[in-house]
Structure 1
Amino acid sequence: MTMTGLAISVSDDPAPDDVARIGSALTDFNAADVGPAGRRPLAVFVHDAAGEMVAGISGYTAWGWLYVQWLWVSAEMRGQGLAGRMLAAAEAEARDRSCHGAYIDTFNPHGLHVYQKAGYAVFGALADFPPGRTRHFLSKSLS
């Protein structure tokens, strides 16, 4: 295939349909290559007595893995073990979904400690992501 007539553009405000097209095309390619991901959202929420959310996890399971995309604990609830308890709940659900592993990343030194305490091991790192910090990538066997 020739590159004649093609135009490459860069955008900081892409049309949602264009982004969805990329995701759909890649999902179709991956499913044909390695089989369907079976991707399912997974969330864990912690609410206080007044019903206010004070902590939570958002992620998904796919191809036998749990990915914890976001883990947040409100400032007033930190230091009480909520992150570990939420991870345990997410991991239990992932096992129920037949997942064999979990992964997460962080550039927060305290987060790194929390995840290691929960049994996650570093498998990679990017220095200066963001500048002055290191983004660590961690995984854990759920078998």
Structure 2
Amino acid sequence: MKSPIIDITETPLAADLEQIASALTAFNDSAVGPSSRRPLAAMIRAENQLVAGLSGYTGWGWLYIQWLWVAEAQRGQGLARQLLAAAEAEAIARGCHGAHIDTFSPQALHVYQRAGYTVFGALPEFPHGHTRSFLSKSLP
């Protein structure tokens, strides 16, 4: 048998990514139980235009917020906080006990902290000149 070869690529095959995901999911399921992962998204529209949105998922009793965006012209009006509250309410309805999010934006960090999230870790210089903060919040 030949030695394994490491293949580095910017264009992985969809089948390879699916195999990695399936294998890791099976391992995690056997180690800690199924995640019951479900997508979650919340959007705010004005005049049929998307002006703010949140995307993430729930799994293992947690809400993970992957993306939260508010159009520049709509910032400062509390839309991010509304999206967080809506996502948290849905996560609670799904049986979640916590939420987590990360950011390297000082403005977003402030918004999340005002919404009750606390920093539990930080990664300096990610990206260069910034600190990526990891935040969590207990849900009732």
Fold shared per TM-score above 0.5: yes
Give CA deviations for 1:89-120 in whole Å, capped at 9, x if unaligned: 00000000000000000000000000000000
The residue number in structure 1 matching 2:3 is 5
Among candidates 53, 56, 60, match of residue 56 of structure 1: 53
Runs of 4+ in 1 over 4 A off after TM superposition: none
- 1:4 positional shift: 5.4
If the length of structure 1 is used for normalisation, what is the TM-score? Answer: 0.96
Percent identity, please: 60
SS of residue matched to 1:37: coil
SS of residue matched to 1:8: coil
- Indicate the larger mover: 18-27 or 58-67: 18-27
Counterparts of 1:42-121 in structure 2, within 5 Å, are: 42-48=40-46, 50-121=47-118
SS of residue matched to 1:53: strand
- 1:5 positional shift: 2.0
Distance in 1 (CA, whole Å) between partners of 2:67 and 2:12 is 23
SS of residue matched to 1:23: helix
- The size of the alignment, in residue pairs, is 140
The residue number in structure 1 matching 2:16 is 18
In the alignment, structure 2 segments of 5+ residues that lack a partner are none
SS of residue matched to 1:105: strand
If the length of structure 2 is used for normalisation, what is the TM-score? Answer: 0.98
Distance in 1 (CA, whole Å) between partners of 2:78 and 2:6 is 48
Counterparts of 1:118-129 in structure 2, within 5 Å, are: 118-129=115-126
- 1:20 positional shift: 1.2
Distance in 2 (CA, whole Å) between partners of 1:73 and 1:17 is 34
Alpha-carbon RMSD: 1.0
Distance in 2 (CA, whole Å) between partners of 1:125 and 1:99 is 24
In the alignment, structure 1 segments of 5+ residues that lack a partner are none
